[in-house]
Structure 1
Amino acid sequence: MAKANYIVHPNPMHRGNPLIEGLGFPLTKQQIQTQSAVAFTGGLDLSAVPEELHGYYTRSSILNLFSLHVVQDEMVEVYEAIRLGIEVGYLGRNPLQEDWQRILYSVERDKDEPLKATNIKRLNLIENSYTYLVCGLSGRGKSSMVKQALRLIDQTIEHGAYSDQKGKTLTSQLTQVTYLYVEHHERTGQKNFLNSVLEAIDEVTGEDYVYRHRNSNVKDLINAVRKAVILHHIGALVIDEAQNFAKAPEKIVIGPNEKTSMKFVEELVNSLGVSTIFVGTFSTLNLFTKEMTITRRTIRAGSMSLASCSVESGFWKNLCHALFNSVLLIGGRRTKTHCG
């Protein structure tokens, strides 16, 4: 858990909100590339190894190449899209504002009244919704890139004393969950999807929402997620394998059960202001295009399409440079031949 690193936000719409200003400054392009790259682990020491086994251990060191990671060209854009989404997710959810303090107080006392549409509408969170899609070919590295970007962002932040420029002070201890990552692997309807969200919340907060709601119906699960989003100050929801909102791989349409799940995701975005980043194959874009009645606001902040890397991409040059400079083969293959 990280400590809040308060800044004075340069954007006046984001200023004065500890959940935003406590994020600190985003990483620069150079920092992203430096912190994301993983160098080859070399340094093979054969001094105490019999010569007959040198080839074996040399070949074993070549397998270390699997841990080598070269940053893709799109990595910076993915990081910035997620980071900005987290910031936008807190617009209208300022713990210093009295309206939001009343919401928090009532939810902590387990009252449903503050979650009604009239109260949410009064907070004007619908204008703060942020959604983004990362789609591309299978095996292109979408999920790896998104996960790497998330590792560069503190998932939980602990707040202490904070004063804005108007003198308002946050005195109570507050723990903020900046994002949740959910893999939507199975096409089994909204109940499993909601349980996946609760599992992600349990994992990061140490709560036991899944166990407490093991016998809950869909309506109760939806309400549980709503409350958890508010209580834990969740800024963004990252949904991987988003193409599984389709009824089946060969039918790129949203089925009745999945439609309810999709509507719930839209509710989180539009009513509670939670930013959502979808990650999936190209069929995800096709799915959302066909189902515009349900997802007309889904791709609000834009999208990124990842096809094959261009031959002119700097990624290939960086990859080749890293590979050619990684392994220094000691000795090499023996060329002695054996006859008879």
Structure 2
Amino acid sequence: MKQIPIPTFNINTGITIEADYQDPLLEEYRNNPLLEALPPIWDDSTVIQNLASKPLYKVWERELPVHLRMHCVQRVSRDFFQPLSKHLELEQSLSRLIRDGYVGRNPLTPNYAFRTRKDTYDLMVKGLTDAYPLNTPTSSGFAMVGISGIGKSSTLLRILKMYPQVIVHYEYQGNKLPLYQIVWLKLDCPHDGSIRSLCLNFLLAVDSLVGTKYYNHNSSKYTDELLPIMAQAAAVHCLGVLVIDEIQNLQEAKDDRAPQMLNFFVQLVNTIGLPVVVVGTYKALPVLNGEFRNARRGSGQGDSLWEHMKKDEEWIWLLRGLWKYQWTDEKIELTDEFVDVMYEESQGITDIAIKLFMLAQWRALDQKRKTISTELIRSVAKDRLTLVRDALAALRSGKKREIQKYADLYAGVSIDDYLNRIEEQQRQANQLEVIRQELGYDVKEQETRQLSSWLVEVGYEKEVARKAAEEVISNHLSSIDEIDIQKEGAKAALRIKHENMKDSSDTTRITVTKKKLEPTDPDDLRVIIFQGRNRKLSAYEALQKAQYIKNAKEFLS
């Protein structure tokens, strides 16, 4: 049998888990295995903790040779993520969208069985999308449009990965339910806007996730044949949300392919109730007119417009989080002058700001400078950001005519849209307050919360952990990067615990509980494993790096 060549393309993958049904706490979500198998609906505090990401940073690394510190700086681009108000809004929108889409798609109902048989295929072929309405087609989707480099795709993927990508069902409420549920799928729109390429990529992605052979059986078919097959696969595997990134590539589509693809997304909504989210730069705005725009108006989520950041409290909050990670000989404090120059040279585009901070450190290390400076940042921006210099200059000018030259930067929104953002700015301010309360307002509070959480995780009571963390951070705030903060915290917590036991009047009570070993030494295996987890290492890898696990070949020889 002739082997069919399978093309390679990037697919964002998550984890696969076995269904664990939990009460969703809302009546409309109950008795639906697709909804009960999802994670709980998270509050803002949980979302903030799950999204926040801090690079590995040790003060002694500033004493490493320059060529090693160069690699340490790279961690900022890879691992740093500071939650902002718009990230919370996006998570809430996706949470509602996925669940609303599943309300009308319960695999235990006859309507579901009808949809996942060949009838789905026939409906798409004949275009009878309104002949058999869903139970409750409440979701349609939304468009996420914004400036390049502002973090649309990376944030969206972080939020999606908070959900399992595939959930395997076996049995629900005593009834057999053999089902592979795909919660989310994120694909890039092909560079040439080809619908056929998108369909084949979709089928190949489904095959890679659940082991089917859609691609092998259909790779030679035409576009008109592939579209119904794609819809049928989405229905069979209960796809929760389809995300199409780089939607501005539809501008390159030939003939009427762009309207055809957008109309197909509308059919997916009307036929199987599949929410569709499209993501792109401002170049995508012209192709998002017509039926797709009309369809998504009913979703209730609202389109998401991601502009460059303003020089406000959120901008300072972002820089405060970033500023900790300096591997130069000496650290320099974040001043108003640095806030101003970082904004001027990046114009509030987060990706450029992070790269600028890294480039400044690399140049300082290369030129054997002790610290970064505002002059160094300006110099790096002039020399290394040549490809985006004109676009940044247009943003800096504030002139509409200049900004319109760069479609990735210009939103083209109406004055009514602009005035409506006043209310949105107030909501963002409230959400920033929630983020600050969760992570801490300043460095002292953030470090205290982090150390306290770690002490609780390794076995101390909350009150003991809190007192120990406050004591250690207060005593060592000026030299916090020069000590092993976790070791000092464990010592303080152990002392406070013993003092509490001595002061207790009820010394005769015997509690039948399992005794917990308290980690007081940096060589404690639990400490090593916890620190390894912060570096995204498994327990085995962390113990192996600490030389607690021998190579088996030593014993064989």
TM-score (norm 1): 0.81
**Does the residue aligned with 1:13 lie in a helix, a strand or coil?**
helix
Equivalent of 2:192 in 187, 203, 214: 187
How far does the alpha carbon of each residue in 1:37-73 deviate from its partner, in whole angstroms, 9 at most, with x for none?
A: 22122237679xxx9x733333442333222222233
Q: Which amino acid in 2 is paired with 1:159?
A: H
Aligned to 2:272: 272
Aligned to 1:40: 55
Equivalent of 1:93 in 105, 108, 111: 105
- 1:78-89 pair list within 5 angstroms: 78-89=90-101
1:97–1:24: structure 2 CA closer, same or farther, 3 Å change rule?
same
Q: Quick check: 1:58–1:330 contact (8 Å CA) kept in 2?
A: no
Please tell me whether residue 75 in structure 1 is matched to residue 87 in structure 2.
yes
Task: Tell which has more relative contact order, 1 or 2 (C-alpha 8 A, sep 6+).
Answer: 1
Number of residues paired by the alignment?
A: 315
Aligned to 1:219: 224
1:59–1:180: structure 2 CA closer, same or farther, 3 Å change rule?
closer
Please tell me whether residue 55 in structure 1 is matched to residue 54 in structure 2.
no
Q: Which amino acid in 2 is paired with 1:89?
A: G
- 1:270-309 pair list within 5 angstroms: 270-288=270-288, 291-293=289-291, 295-301=293-299, 302-309=302-309
Q: Quick check: 1:262–1:294 contact (8 Å CA) kept in 2?
A: yes
Structure 1 portions without partners, runs of 5+: 164-168, 249-253, 336-340
Of 87-96 and 186-195, more deviation after overlay is shown by 186-195
Q: Quick check: 1:243–1:287 contact (8 Å CA) kept in 2?
A: yes
Please tell me whether residue 261 in structure 1 is matched to residue 274 in structure 2.
no
Please tell me whether residue 140 in structure 1 is matched to residue 155 in structure 2.
no
How far does the alpha carbon of each residue in 1:224-271 deviate from its partner, in whole angstroms, 9 at most, with x for none?
A: 1122112111121101111222347xxxxx941222222211100111
Distance 1:219 1:64 in 2: 46
**Does the residue aligned with 1:173 lie in a helix, a strand or coil?**
strand
Q: Quick check: 1:44–1:61 contact (8 Å CA) kept in 2?
A: no
Distance 2:271 2:112 in 1: 13
**Does the residue aligned with 1:58 lie in a helix, a strand or coil?**
helix
Please tell me whether residue 322 in structure 1 is matched to residue 306 in structure 2.
no
Q: Quick check: 1:269–1:275 contact (8 Å CA) kept in 2?
A: yes
Q: Quick check: 1:129–1:270 contact (8 Å CA) kept in 2?
A: no
Please tell me whether residue 24 in structure 1 is matched to residue 39 in structure 2.
yes
1:126–1:97: structure 2 CA closer, same or farther, 3 Å change rule?
closer
- 1:160-199 pair list within 5 angstroms: 160-163=170-173, 169-199=174-204
Equivalent of 1:243 in 227, 239, 248: 248
Deviation at 1:221, TM superposition (A): 0.7
1:211–1:72: structure 2 CA closer, same or farther, 3 Å change rule?
farther
Equivalent of 2:161 in 147, 151, 163: 151
Q: Quick check: 1:134–1:278 contact (8 Å CA) kept in 2?
A: yes
RMSD (Å) for aligned C-alpha atoms: 3.0
Q: Quick check: 2:33–2:106 contact (8 Å CA) kept in 1?
A: yes
Q: Quick check: 2:189–2:245 contact (8 Å CA) kept in 1?
A: yes
Structure 2 portions without partners, runs of 5+: 1-15, 331-364, 371-557
Query: Is the strand fraction higher in 1 or 2?
Result: 1
Distance 1:279 1:112 in 2: 27
Distance 2:44 2:226 in 1: 40
Q: Which amino acid in 2 is paired with 1:327?
A: Q
How far does the alpha carbon of each residue in 1:281-312 deviate from its partner, in whole angstroms, 9 at most, with x for none?
A: 12333432xx3256421343311111111222
**Does the residue aligned with 1:278 lie in a helix, a strand or coil?**
strand
How far does the alpha carbon of each residue in 1:200-222 deviate from its partner, in whole angstroms, 9 at most, with x for none?
A: 22232232322221211122211
> Sequence identity, in percent?
22
Distance 2:236 2:292 in 1: 28
**Does the residue aligned with 2:55 lie in a helix, a strand or coil?**
coil
Query: Is the helix fraction higher in 1 or 2?
Result: 2
**Does the residue aligned with 2:76 lie in a helix, a strand or coil?**
helix
Deviation at 1:320, TM superposition (A): 2.3
Distance 1:151 1:6 in 2: 19
**Does the residue aligned with 2:137 lie in a helix, a strand or coil?**
helix
Q: Which amino acid in 2 is paired with 1:317?
A: I
Distance 1:196 1:125 in 2: 30
Distance 1:334 1:88 in 2: 55
Equivalent of 1:230 in 227, 235, 238: 235
Q: Which amino acid in 1 is paired with 2:321?
A: A
Please tell me whether residue 3 in structure 1 is matched to residue 2 in structure 2.
no
Q: Quick check: 2:190–2:197 contact (8 Å CA) kept in 1?
A: no
1:72–1:286: structure 2 CA closer, same or farther, 3 Å change rule?
farther
1:222–1:113: structure 2 CA closer, same or farther, 3 Å change rule?
closer
Of 196-205 and 305-314, more deviation after overlay is shown by 196-205
Please tell me whether residue 128 in structure 1 is matched to residue 138 in structure 2.
yes
TM-score (norm 2): 0.51
Q: Which amino acid in 1 is paired with 2:153?
A: S
Q: Quick check: 1:99–1:123 contact (8 Å CA) kept in 2?
A: no
1:212–1:313: structure 2 CA closer, same or farther, 3 Å change rule?
farther
Aligned to 2:502: none
Q: Which amino acid in 2 is paired with 1:124?
A: L
Aligned to 1:15: 30
1:37–1:279: structure 2 CA closer, same or farther, 3 Å change rule?
same
Q: Quick check: 1:5–1:24 contact (8 Å CA) kept in 2?
A: no
1:285–1:121: structure 2 CA closer, same or farther, 3 Å change rule?
same
Distance 2:29 2:265 in 1: 24
